[in-house]
Structure 1
C-alpha cells in the first residue's frame, strides 16, 4: 500500500468536471484507491463519493492506493491534482 499527502492545485477545486476527470484517472488502475480528507474516506473511483467531499483548491488530502499498479496510480493522481490547468 502506498499513501501520500497531496494538495489540490486545480483552481476550481474538485467540483463536477475535475471530479469526473479524477475518477477517470483513478479508474484506469486495478488498485484500490481512496481519498481521505478530515474524517471522510471515499473510493476515488466513485463519482458520487468524490462529489460528497466538495474539496476546494488548496485543500490537503491523503491518497492511498493498494494493488499491483499502486505506484503508477499515485503518480498520475498527483500529476492531475497538481496541474494548474484542467486537462
Structure 2
C-alpha cells in the first residue's frame, strides 16, 4: 500500500468539478484507491462518496492505493490535485 497526505488550499474545498476530475483520474487504474478525511474513508472512484466527505479549505486528506500500479496512482493524482489548484 502507498499513501500520501495532502492539504487542500482551494477556498471551496473539494467541490463537484474537481471531485469529478479526481474520480475520472482514479478510474484509469487497477489499484484500489481510497480517500480519507476526518476518519472517514471512501472509494475514490465514487463521486458521491468523495462529495459526502465535505472536504474544506485547510482540510488534510489521505489518498491510499493498493495494487500493481499504486505508485503511478499517487503520481497521477498528485498532478491532478495540482492541476485543479487544490494543492500547491
Q: Which residue of 1 aligns with 2:22?
A: 22
Aligned CA-pair RMSD: 1.6
2:19 aligned counterpart, secondary structure: helix
Q: Which residue of 2 aligns with 1:77?
A: 77
Runs of 4+ in 1 over 6 A off after TM superposition: none
Q: Distance in 1 between matches of 2:38 and 2:74?
A: 19
Deviations 1:5-51 (A, max 9, x none): 11224453211111111100111101000011112000000111011
What's the TM-score once normalised by structure 1's chain length? 0.86
Q: 66-75 vs 53-62, which deviates more?
A: 53-62
- Give the unaligned 5+ runs of structure 2: none
Q: Which residue of 1 aligns with 2:3?
A: 3
1:12 aligned counterpart, secondary structure: coil
What's the TM-score once normalised by structure 2's chain length? 0.86
Q: 1:59/1:82 Cα in 2 relative to 1: closer, same or farther (>3 Å)?
A: farther
1:6 aligned counterpart, secondary structure: strand
- Give the unaligned 5+ runs of structure 1: none
Kindly indicate whether residue 51 of structure 2 is the aligned counterpart of residue 51 of structure 1.
yes
